[in-house]
Amino acid sequence: MKTDNNSHPNSRLKIGEGYISGYISIFFALISLGGVFCFLFPDILTTPEYRKNYPVEILRKILLMCMLFSFLFALTSLILCKTKKPALFGTLISGISILMGGATVEVKQFNEVGFYVSLDWLLLDLLVLALIFIPIELFFPKRLSQSKFHDEWKTDLIYFAIGHVFVQLTAVSVQSPASYFFGSLNMQNLQEFVQSTSFLIQLPAALLVTDLCQYTAHRFFHKMPFLWRFHAVHHSIKAVDWMAGSRLHIVDILLTRSFSYLPLYLLGFSIEVFYMYVIIVSLQAVGAHSNTRIPFGFLKYLIVTPQYHHWHHSDDPATYDKNFAIHFPFIDLLFGTYHLPGDQWPESTGLAETKFPKGYFKQLVFPFKKDPFKDQKIKDSSRR
Ligand SMILES: [Zn+2]
Ligand SMILES: [Zn+2]
């Protein structure tokens, strides 16, 4: 098995050339600008449930730090880089943020409006995940030549952004089926029992039952041709990295989430467990896709790691339909779908020999086409 993937035309950026610092400067500048907009238009750009509890002074400090980092990285890039464009672009965007009020921008008073997008959630989660996973992929990469700026990174960023700014649509819709179908069931005794147990028992139990549900839904998405049309979008990722893990068709997100969250609503897990579950599942799902060789030792047999989930994305038909779990590999072991050969990684990932449509909107309509796989050399719809 080779450890490198040379199939990507855009070569990896090298540390010390000034491009990375330039792009980091632009990244912090855009986060700052978005943050200023959230302060100015909180009614339509922030999530009502979150904004009630925001520690505004801490957010101002984070905003200030982002602007400072943007200028510092722009300066580094100016010194190191042959082209000055990234540094100047980062400086320009941060300059606009300052002109609009910067970290001391007034929070605009507002009345509640019906429509909003969760730009606050997008910015905060992007900041946290980027701070964790970009250094990991930069300093401990698995596929050395896989660039962050591979030819589909913009598509993956659109998936990431849409999944966050419209988070309320998926959050509400995943609760509805549970209350619609099971609201009348009297599960009070069971719920009281679950609530009487401690957080340390509830949390692993919640992870286990949601992973069992997720496993079931995931296998259906692979097994049933109609559902595979939607899930094939996720498997079309060729450059698997932390951002690419967001590439999921909206139908895939809605069905998988409603099914996985079902036990959380039905069994009455506490709200603290629910929040901790959401944090763990998002970190583990993002981490499992990351392009990193960080060793996990014996832990790789206990929890889902990048090596484990990259095998799920292998384009070798001999390893199709393996490693469906997202928390615990033993679930795959139990149902005969476990595949973790020593320290080996899949040679390449994606859909074998298929020309999958590129871009968010083409992939959005793909599953609804009449016979969407008709152009493929190998019928991926037969992957069942
Ligand atoms: Zn899958
Ligand atoms: Zn995946």
Q: What is the DSSP string of 197-227?
A: S-HHHHHHHHHHHHHHHHHHHHHHHHHSHHH
Give residue 50 CA to ligand 2 midpoint distance, Å: 28
How much is the pLDDT for 349? 92
Give residue 217 CA to ligand 1 midpoint distance, Å: 10
- The ligand minimizing its distance to the Cα of 326 is 2
- Say if CB 166 and CB 119 are below 8 A apart: no
- Which of the two residues, 165 and 174, has the higher pLDDT score? 165
How much is the pLDDT for 181? 67
12-40: average pLDDT: 87
How much is the pLDDT for 370? 83
- The ligand minimizing its distance to the Cα of 380 is 1
pTM of the model: 0.87
Picking from 66, 93, 86, the residue whose alpha carbon sits closest to that of residue 19 is 86
Report DSSP state, residue 44: H
pLDDT at position 10 over 60: no
133-137: average pLDDT: 92
Question: What gap in Å lies between CA 28 and CA 303, rounded to an integer?
Answer: 32
**pLDDT classification of 2: cutoffs 50, 70, 90:** very low
Picking from 363, 177, 364, the residue whose alpha carbon sits closest to that of residue 256 is 177
pLDDT at position 4 over 80: no
Average the pLDDT over each of 12-21, 273-282, 313-322, 348-357 and give the range with the smallest value.
12-21
Picking from 158, 145, 270, 253, the residue whose alpha carbon sits closest to that of residue 205 is 270
Residue type, 80: L
How much is the pLDDT for 290? 96
How much is the pLDDT for 3? 40
Enclosing H/E stretch for 155: helix 153-165
How much is the pLDDT for 136? 94
Give residue 342 CA to ligand 1 midpoint distance, Å: 21
Residue type, 69: F
Percent of the chain scoring above 90 in pLDDT: 57
**pLDDT classification of 144: cutoffs 50, 70, 90:** confident
Give residue 321 CA to ligand 1 midpoint distance, Å: 7
- The ligand minimizing its distance to the Cα of 228 is 1
Tokens found for residue 61:
């400090």
309-322: average pLDDT: 94
| Separation in Å, CA 177 to CA 80, 169, 258, 361 | 55, 13, 7, 27
| Separation in Å, CA 22 to CA 15, 65, 72, 83 | 11, 17, 10, 10
How much is the pLDDT for 169? 73
Give residue 286 CA to ligand 2 midpoint distance, Å: 9
pLDDT at position 178 over 50: yes
Enclosing H/E stretch for 281: helix 271-289
Question: What gap in Å lies between CA 164 and CA 177, rounded to an integer?
Answer: 21
- Which of the two residues, 61 and 109, has the higher pLDDT score? 61
* Highest mean pLDDT out of 95-104, 214-223, 372-381: 214-223
Rg of the chain over Cα atoms, rounded to whole angstroms, equals: 22
Give residue 32 CA to ligand 2 midpoint distance, Å: 30
Give residue 289 CA to ligand 1 midpoint distance, Å: 12
Give residue 223 CA to ligand 1 midpoint distance, Å: 10
Give residue 307 CA to ligand 1 midpoint distance, Å: 15
Question: What gap in Å lies between CA 156 and CA 43, rounded to an integer?
Answer: 27
253-257: average pLDDT: 90
pLDDT at position 259 over 90: no
181-196: average pLDDT: 78
Give residue 322 CA to ligand 1 midpoint distance, Å: 8
- Which residues, listed in sequence order, are joined to residue 141 by a DSSP beta bridge? 292
- The ligand minimizing its distance to the Cα of 242 is 2
Give residue 234 CA to ligand 2 midpoint distance, Å: 6
Give residue 202 CA to ligand 2 midpoint distance, Å: 26
Give residue 309 CA to ligand 2 midpoint distance, Å: 6
Question: What gap in Å lies between CA 328 and CA 130, rounded to an integer?
Answer: 25
- The ligand minimizing its distance to the Cα of 218 is 1
- Which of the two residues, 230 and 260, has the higher pLDDT score? 230
pLDDT at position 19 over 70: yes
How much is the pLDDT for 292? 94
How much is the pLDDT for 219? 97
How much is the pLDDT for 1? 37
Give residue 289 CA to ligand 2 midpoint distance, Å: 6
Give residue 326 CA to ligand 2 midpoint distance, Å: 9
Give residue 46 CA to ligand 1 midpoint distance, Å: 32
- The ligand minimizing its distance to the Cα of 245 is 2
58-77: average pLDDT: 94
- Which of the two residues, 313 and 272, has the higher pLDDT score? 313
> Could you tell me which residues come within 8 angstroms of residue 200 by beta carbon, excluding any fewer than 6 positions away?
none
- Say if CB 291 and CB 137 are below 8 A apart: yes
Question: What gap in Å lies between CA 87 and CA 71, rounded to an integer?
Answer: 8
pLDDT in tens, 194-241: 888 999 999 999 999 999 999 999 999 999 999 999 999 999 999 999
Give residue 222 CA to ligand 1 midpoint distance, Å: 6
How much is the pLDDT for 384? 44
Average the pLDDT over each of 126-135, 154-163, 166-175 and give the range with the smallest value.
166-175
Give residue 356 CA to ligand 2 midpoint distance, Å: 16
- Say if CB 87 and CB 12 are below 8 A apart: no
Tokens found for residue 62:
């984070």
How much is the pLDDT for 201? 93
**pLDDT classification of 108: cutoffs 50, 70, 90:** confident
pLDDT at position 95 over 70: yes
Picking from 219, 211, 192, 189, the residue whose alpha carbon sits closest to that of residue 321 is 219
Question: What gap in Å lies between CA 112 and CA 33, rounded to an integer?
Answer: 23
pLDDT at position 159 over 60: yes
How much is the pLDDT for 225? 92
